[in-house]
Amino acid sequence: MAPSCSGATGEGCYGNVSDWIRAHMKGEHSRMKKSTTPTFLLELPLAVNPGQAKYLRAHFEAARALYNTLLGEALARLHRMWADPAWQTARAIPRSLKQERAAAFSQLRQEYGFSEYALHDYAKHANCTWIADHIDAVTAQTLATRAYQAVNRVCLGKAKKVRFRSKGRGLDSIEGKRNNTGLRFVLQPPEEGNQGWLVWGKDRLPAIIDWEDPVVKYGLDHHIKYARLVRRKASSPRAQGSDCQGYRYYVQLALVGTPYQKPKKKPGQDVIGLDLGPSTLAIVPREGEARLVPLCEELKPDARKKRRLERKLDRQRRANNPQNYDEKGRIKKRGKQRLSWKTSHGYLVTRRRLAHQERKLAAHRKSLHGRLVNEIIHTSNDIRIEKISYKGWQKQFGKSVGMRALGMLIEHLRRTVAKTGGILHEFPTRSTKLSQYCHGCRTHANYVDTLQDVYIILVHVDTFLRGMLNNRSIKCPHNNKKPLSERWHQCACGVGPVQRDLYSAFLAAYLDPPDYLPSSAQYHVYWEGAELCLRAALEPLYQRAKEGQAVPRSVGITGARARLPESLVPNRQEPLYRHGRLETLG
């Protein structure tokens, strides 16, 4: 039954039942959350002629100018909101009062217009003059969303500052919100030729589509949410497919559904434990073969070439800007005043060559990550690994972590597990301490090396037995933390010797959620068969060390880097007396 009028003024009155139903449904729709669907990307190269490339460079420059304007406006609104005393009052509200605290911050955001949709309104006025000739209203909104998200990270404490885009750095991607207006991708029907174009205003950019590729064919059969225009630097302007400034252009299609899964890469059904180190990855499944894999072993950066390019770049910079260096060759300090730097054509060429070396290295690294992740997924779709701070590792193992990109590897693994329907369990190291745990005595980091250690354990044997009967982990009274230099686990209870990383991966494979307590796992049932598998996993590395190949020191094979292969050529050197001493000639 439709409600009647609530007052003499006629507020709350509806003309008929259908008006009330439409208003009611509109209110329900506004309160409903926007539905989300799975999304995957398909990237296609674009065939761009010199005239189209000129217009695209103008579009990207207009987008850069508008983005910087929106970023500055969002930052100014944030600073005004921070300067309000009500901000400090809202921060003083205890975190236990979640609703009151959220309402106070929401009121401040609404008052100062610090929201995504408020910035959309500002983009309507900022998108004017010459910028409006290149950027449509929908693209301006996506740039406003991008600027708001960057400043909101500063507001939430997830970032310290925002980065404005300089003219030399520029923007390298522009996207739309939907595929029916603005930046959109149009695909011909099969009977008309199956050709595709990226349409943006008056520009019509043909895409290079390989219909024989099953990945491309699978992707284009799905509904397109929106399109993204991407440009990337090539090795030089003379590279194939690049414009006069050395850019290649691509279109990324956001498609509804799940990505294509090749038949040979179907996920396995085993449970697997991983132990990630700065240079190795231990893989121990419950039923399969254990492995200790050096990470990105095929990645061999040319350090000598990189150093020569960096030195050449520094010489060119000094030759172009002698006024910015003092008599000792140091950069002059002028306080807050910024120095003006000149760049020559040769300097830009050298910088492009150096960037190309790093770009090839990053592409090779990403390829190696993908291959390793596919091997892991092919074995198991239930993966268990410790949650580690890779930023903390950068301080201690900076060179190794920087070359292998461990955080990027785990993020790639996390995405691939999610799209294949698997589960990635990440448990805290503070509670598990797998590298310090021994399942034989159910203790952490206990090494019995002297008679004094044996005496202490015998004195506290009652405590140990009581803890084992109660099925809980106990702390040894003589707790010696295992150092990182100790790469083998060997305990007085009879467990070991076994490689430390492989043993941690074995412990992780049998940790069960949600507690993730090593003392609750039934390791004794599986250890007899697993011990031989863990030892067999080191045989390929021992063989490599005997052949003189480099093996990471974290493996724990003594002198692996010092061994050199014996020469097959007999020693035919003959002694020769020269300059008063005995020498040999080969």
107-123 pLDDT per residue, tens = 999 999 999 999 999 99
Mean pLDDT of 120-142: 92
pLDDT at 35: 60
**Average pLDDT of every residue of the chain:** 83
Of 467 and 43, which is predicted with more confidence? 43
Per-residue confidence at 34, pLDDT binned at 50, 70, 90? low
pLDDT at 463: 53
The answer to whether residue 454 scores a pLDDT higher than 80 is no
Of 193 and 258, which is predicted with more confidence? 258
The answer to whether residue 381 scores a pLDDT higher than 60 is yes
pLDDT at 461: 52
| Interior angle at CA 39, CA 34 and CA 43, nearest 5 | 140
Domain boundaries, the chain: 1-32, 39-256, 270-332+342-428, 430-542
User: Which tokens is 293 given?
Assistant: 């894999």
The answer to whether residue 496 scores a pLDDT higher than 90 is no
Mean pLDDT of 461-488: 60
Tell me phi and psi for residue 512, to 5 degrees: -110, 140
SS3 for 289-348 is CCEEEECCCCCCCCHHHHHHHHHHHHHHHHHHCHHHECCCCCECCCCCCCCCCCCCHHHH
The answer to whether residue 452 scores a pLDDT higher than 80 is no
Name which of 3-7, 261-265, 489-493 the model is least confident about: 3-7
pTM score > 0.85 for this model? no
Mean pLDDT of 6-23: 40
On whether the CB atoms of residues 40 and 257 are closer than 8 A, the answer is yes
On whether the CB atoms of residues 386 and 432 are closer than 8 A, the answer is yes
pLDDT at 376: 93
The answer to whether residue 449 scores a pLDDT higher than 70 is no
Measure Cα distances from 541 to 368, 371, 499, 586 in Å: 19, 20, 12, 34
The answer to whether residue 586 scores a pLDDT higher than 70 is no
48-62 pLDDT per residue, tens = 999 999 999 999 999
The answer to whether residue 69 scores a pLDDT higher than 90 is yes
pLDDT at 581: 52
On whether the CB atoms of residues 45 and 53 are closer than 8 A, the answer is no
pLDDT at 526: 84
Of 19 and 421, which is predicted with more confidence? 421
Per-residue confidence at 252, pLDDT binned at 50, 70, 90? very high
Per-residue confidence at 30, pLDDT binned at 50, 70, 90? very low
Name which of 294-308, 491-505, 559-573 the model is least confident about: 559-573
426-447 pLDDT per residue, tens = 988 888 888 888 888 888 864 4
Per-residue confidence at 236, pLDDT binned at 50, 70, 90? confident
Mean pLDDT of 367-378: 94
pLDDT at 583: 52
In this structure, what DSSP letter does residue 56 have? H
